[in-house]
């Protein structure tokens, strides 16, 4: 005579083993995210693959026999050598001054110069603005809305606004009583771009830092004041360590955005290259305007690799900190539970 299964056995029979349930859950998870992965592969993966393919192709050439332009065929790494070695057909360094090929390394330097200076200023000013916006002041909502206005203005409008202000007969020279060539001088024009970028993007950084500041419990500051900690000690030992995750995310966003800077210098100084504010993105578009799509694809690939390398280092850096913080926060809790 057979016995009826117990309650535990009945649950196992109806739901299966844990391994089987885990495999079923995994299949469902892949089935649900498969459409998203397919769309990302088409939207992101295809342009990258196509740009890399064009980077290894030669430009179209006129066939004297037929009188038509024909495909240049496989060009190997000549397009990359053109940019990296500034080789215009006569060996390394053969690109004449004033050509796009001779501006590659200067564009790299200008791009990283803009990135380092603007991100540093925006983080410092953004931290200050976030501290002010986080205080319980009268009219705090109006202050927050006012600070965010520059960020809400379109970049093209911002560029034109500062272009008119830095013009020879603009308000900046009128106030200073000088005739500073903000639009033609080497460092003057770079300074103008930095001012415009900092003015526009600092509110975005301040907003991200403010979100991190509001996550810090007020009890921590009260306990520090009771222990006699000064304001500087509270800032360096409480505020900075606890706001660090939000701060690093803000820095990551701004670094990646600054590395592909195009709008502000292109509108204020021109997008044809050859200016003191020519960035990597401007150089790519200038090469495309000249019809050199394959060499422009090679340059785009180099820019992509530079930005990817910087993003990888920063994400790795942020991830390592998150792991350390998680372990540091988990150890005391585990110890208390076991004790």
For 5-41, write each residue's pLDDT tens digit: 555 555 555 555 777 788 888 888 888 999 999 998 8
- Residue 305 belongs to some domain of the structure: no
Q: Which two tokens stand for residue 49?
A: 């693959």
pLDDT beyond 70 at 318 = no
**Has this prediction a pTM greater than 0.85?**
no
Instruction: Please provide the DSSP assignment of 264-281 as one string.
Output: HHHHHH-SSS-STT--HH
pLDDT at 164: 93
- Residue 179 belongs to some domain of the structure: yes
**HEC string for 295-314:** HHHHHHHHHHHHHHHHHHHH
For 155-200, write each residue's pLDDT tens digit: 999 999 999 999 988 899 999 998 899 988 899 999 999 999 999 9
Residue 118, domain CATH? 1.10.3720.10
pLDDT at 196: 95
Helix boundaries (H) for the chain? 7-15, 18-40, 46-55, 78-84, 104-134, 140-152, 155-165, 171-176, 186-213, 218-226, 231-234, 240-259, 263-269, 280-289, 293-338
- Residue 35 belongs to some domain of the structure: no
132 close to 173: Cβ distance less than 8 angstroms: no
Average pLDDT over residues 112-128: 94
Residue 90 — pLDDT band, cuts 50, 70, 90?
Answer: confident
DSSP letter assigned to residue 5 = P
- Residue 230 belongs to some domain of the structure: yes
The CA-to-CA distance between both ends of the chain, in Å, stands at 51
For 301-316, write each residue's pLDDT tens digit: 999 899 989 888 888 7
- Residue 274 belongs to some domain of the structure: yes
- Residue 183 belongs to some domain of the structure: yes
For 236-284, write each residue's pLDDT tens digit: 899 888 988 888 888 988 998 999 899 999 999 888 878 899 999 999 9
Residue 339 — pLDDT band, cuts 50, 70, 90?
Answer: very low
Q: Which two tokens stand for residue 325?
A: 């913080």
Q: Domain tally for the chain?
A: 1
Task: Tell me how crowded residue 52 is: count the other CB atoms within 10 A of its CB.
Answer: 14
- Residue 198 belongs to some domain of the structure: yes
- Residue 135 belongs to some domain of the structure: yes
Tokens 């204020």 -> residue: 268
Distance, in Å, from the CA atom of 299 to the CA atom of 91, rounded to the nearest integer, reads: 18
Domain that holds residue 123: 105-280
Residue 337 — pLDDT band, cuts 50, 70, 90?
Answer: very low
Average pLDDT over residues 116-132: 93
């Amino acid at each position: 005579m057979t016995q009826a299964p117990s309650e535990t056995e009945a649950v196992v029979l109806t739901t299966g083993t844990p391994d089987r349930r885990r495999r079923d859950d995994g299949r469902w998870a892949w089935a649900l995210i498969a459409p998203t992965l397919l769309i990302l592969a088409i939207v992101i993966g295809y342009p990258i693959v196509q740009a890399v393919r064009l980077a290894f192709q030669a430009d179209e050439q006129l066939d004297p026999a037929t009188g038509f332009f024909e495909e240049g065929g496989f060009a190997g790494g000549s397009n990359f050598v053109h940019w990296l070695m500034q080789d215009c057909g006569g060996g390394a360094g053969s690109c004449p001054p004033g050509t796009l090929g001779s501006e590659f390394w200067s564009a790299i330097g200008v791009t990283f110069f803009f990135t380092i200076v603007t991100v540093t200023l925006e983080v410092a000013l953004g931290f200050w603005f976030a501290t002010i916006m986080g205080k319980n002041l009268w009219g705090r909502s109006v202050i927050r809305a006012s600070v965010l206005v520059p960020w809400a203005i379109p970049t093209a409008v911002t560029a034109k606004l500062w272009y008119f202000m830095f013009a020879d007969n603009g308000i900046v020279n009128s106030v200073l009583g000088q005739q500073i060539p903000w639009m033609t001088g080497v460092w003057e024009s770079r300074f103008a771009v930095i001012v415009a970028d900092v003015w526009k993007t600092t509110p975005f950084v301040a907003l991200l830092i403010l979100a991190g500041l509001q996550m810090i419990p007020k009890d921590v500051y009260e306990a520090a004041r009771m222990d006699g900690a000064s304001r500087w000690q509270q800032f360096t030992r409480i505020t900075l360590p606890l706001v660090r995750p939000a701060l690093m995310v803000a820095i990551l966003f701004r670094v990646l955005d600054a590395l592909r800077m195009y709008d502000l210098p292109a509108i204020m100084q021109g997008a044809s290259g050859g200016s003191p504010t020519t960035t990597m993105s401007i150089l790519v578009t200038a090469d495309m305007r000249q019809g050199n799509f394959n060499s422009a694809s090679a340059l785009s690939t180099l820019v992509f690799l530079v930005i990817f390398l910087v993003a990888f280092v920063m994400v790795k850096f942020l991830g390592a900190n998150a792991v350390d913080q998680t372990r540091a926060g988990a150890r005391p809790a585990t110890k208390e539970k076991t004790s």
